[in-house]
Amino acid sequence: MAISYKDAGVDIDAGNLAVQKMKSFVQSTYRSEVLTDLGSFAGLFQLNVQKYREPVLLSGTDGVGTKLRVAQMLDKHDTIGIDAVAMCVNDILVQGAEPLFFLDYIAVGKLNPDRVAAIVKGVAEGCRQSNCSLIGGETAEMPGFYPDEDYDIAGFAVGVADKSKILTGDKVANGDVLIGLPSTGLHSNGFSLARRVLLPNDMAAEQYDEILGQTIGEAMLTPTRIYVKDILPLLDSVDIHGMCHITGGGLLENLPRVYSGELCAEIDSMSWQRPPIFDLIQQRGDIPDAEMYRVFNMGIGYVIIVSEAEVDKVLSACPDGCVIGHMTERGSDTPGVVIK
């Protein structure tokens, strides 16, 4: 008996249907610089070189981690793509880049066109939030490698900045002020620990929590905040010394990536109100403060470092931001971040 590709687990027709279902979502993200449509072998984007004196392309790639397992538990797939975009565009934004375009890679055990379309719907929403175009991607059906209901997603973002305006952190100085922008919750980091504590079984995701005001699963799936539209207007109006996207490693490990080893960030942990999901995790898991701040963003998803003179400008443009600390000289026995 002849065996087809479909018999081996790969359904080409389902793949074609998935493309048709996602087409309108993809097209909704197109900027005027996009020169191709869905289905081309490569995505074409015409860089407006007149806008920049010395244009430099900045790129970033990331995934969503085990947050995917929560989406699969709840069979909710239309927001996880926002996370994939956020993790990439927020990273390149840190160095002053305007996101231009995005590509995604989705690997599945068995291709479900409606599910893939829902995932891409989220990717498109993330692209719209960051004003970048979804110009390409790949959906790979991999039977025997992934279980039928499993999938993974990764993203790739490219942005542009003038060479003279790229933020390297070399301007960060003693006395500078750190302004934190709130996160929407866990974002996309620390989920292996969060799941271990909050989801001892599949039913736990459906449990309603009075403090959270929603089910535990819903709170965990809250999409990662995209900071592009908050930050881009500041780049031309504020003298920003450094910025930081608070991802895996939390405040403790991400902030020192932005400034020299001679400096220390002193953080006042009482200067912002952290989302209740962090308290829930800490209480249920009996987790020490140091571990919490090393694993999670703890309610601060993005940090802007400026001189004292620029603080009011930033807070006026970002009314939900707050001063969370300041830079000091680092002693020989002092870590790069001190949280009080």
Could you report the per-residue pLDDT of 77-115, keeping only the tens digit for each? 999 999 999 999 999 999 999 999 999 999 999 999 999
Contacts of 163 (CB under 8 A, 6+ apart): 53, 54, 55, 56
In eight-state DSSP terms, residue 216 is: H
Which residues have C-beta within 8 Å of that of residue 308, sequence separation ≥ 6?
175, 176, 177
pLDDT digits (tens, 9 = 90+) for 106-144: 999 999 999 999 999 999 999 999 999 999 999 999 999
201: its two tokens: 């079984």
Place of tokens 């974002």: 187
Q: Is the pLDDT of residue 46 over 80?
A: yes
Q: Is the separation of the CB atoms in 82 and 102 below 8 Å?
A: no
For the whole model, what pTM was predicted? 0.95
Q: How far apart are CA 247 and CA 91, in angstroms?
A: 9
Kind plus residue range of the DSSP H or E element containing 281: helix 276-285
**Residues of the chain with pLDDT > 70: what percent?**
100
Report the DSSP pairing between strands 300-306 and 240-245: antiparallel
Mean of per-residue pLDDT scores for the chain: 94
What average pLDDT score do residues 12-25 get? Answer: 86
User: What is the pLDDT confidence band of residue 11, given thresholds at 50, 70 and 90?
Assistant: confident
Q: What is the pLDDT of residue 183?
A: 98
The answer to which of 33-37, 140-144, 171-175 has the lowest mean pLDDT is 33-37
> What are the Cα distances from residue 281, in Å, to 74, 188, 296, 324?
19, 15, 10, 22
Q: What pLDDT band is residue 259 in, cutting at 50, 70 and 90?
A: very high
